[in-house]
Structure 1
Amino acid sequence: MTELQERKPLREGQAHKRAAILTAARTLFVESGVERTSMDAVAARAGVSKRTVYDYYGDKHRLLLGVIEDAGESALTTLRELVDRHLADDAVTTPADLGAATEAFAVALGRVLLRATDYRAAARLIAENEPLLPELVDHPLEQAHDQVLAEALGRLAARGLLDADDPLLAAAHFQALTILRVLNEPPRRRADAAHVERIMTDGARAFLRAYAARGGSSR
């Protein structure tokens, strides 16, 4: 961060203008690349002045970070909703429940999260610009994602359904077997709903084979 970035406070601004700027920037960054996207183009696409874009985000680096963080916040909300829906204590009480619920959670995650335009765009922008984004290392949003899933897995372990002494590690393994596998697929295959569902289901089953408590369901 430059001295100017540190000195200059950013405006919170109006929510609809901020959303328009982020949507415009996300689209242009994906279509043209970050380097080739000008702040003038973002402003024109968003229907605001260039001064407004600078007032809200300061520079293109922080605008890129804003696009990624906005997608991360949305994804975190989705993750919490899906955990509450599929992995709640009253929904998973037996080993058989565990198998069905874990697969349903994984499939829903693939359907809702990995098909979200903002999430897919953010994943691509991170992959293409990671060296320019040191702020993402140990980012609070990434830690929050890990924690939400780890807490759910920890509750299942406490009730004897999972053998997971380290819920954070278990959460990382679940994501590696499901979400990250999909993100590593070519775009054409990520757009194939049946293919994504197979990956998420297979990943959930592999996770259970490793982590289901002895005598539990590994399906």
Structure 2
Amino acid sequence: MGKVCVITGASQGIGRAAAIRMSREPDVSTVVLVARNADGLEATAAAMDHDGTEVEQLAYDLGDLDGIPALVRGIHERHGGIDVLLNIAGYADPRSLLDTEIDNIVKTYTINVFAMLVLIREVARLMYDRPTKILNVASTAGITSRPGWLAYASSKAAVVSMSATLTDELAGTGIKIYSISPGRTATELRRKLAPEEDPTTIMQPSHVADVIAQLMSDAETTLDGQNIIVRMRA
């Protein structure tokens, strides 16, 4: 029986690229796509290699934290487990300190940190003592100074710390936690935030997806608990 891979943020960007890449893995039989945008999920599914791979689309707003346990249980019941969880969904609305409102911080942390934590907790409850890999997408913004990006950068720093902590807490359970911090990547969000930037000069989502696939393979057994920086060098 092949692996079940769940991907959040799957309607665009790195999430879409990861879905396309994971659908090509010979040991992945099911890919579950989760995102708010149903049309984006349809586009992702259409771009995937479907030969022998089951694809389920779940239009869900991860800002609804209370509904996440039922979401995870439903996936587990329908597919018999969750072998890989890719936490890629993210939110950014960059503002300077004096322009930052509490609502902006709460929304950023809800999607980037709290939803991720609840997803991990629920998967851990169901997959305890079973081989499972969970990958959290942080950002180089979380490990460098980013003036004007207070809420986003600090939320990604929280992802890095959370991943390291959970690696130790879940040691011996069969659950491995990975964290990656991509640099500038040509996603839809990046185009909105930096419209003057030439997207061909920076990393593509497919580059990040290739790294994700390598880390999620059975051959990788040593890099969990580390924050892996992913960037393209000239």
TM-score (norm 1): 0.32
- Higher fraction of strand: 2
- Higher fraction of helix: 1
Between Structure 1 and Structure 2, whose CA radius of gyration is higher?
A: 1
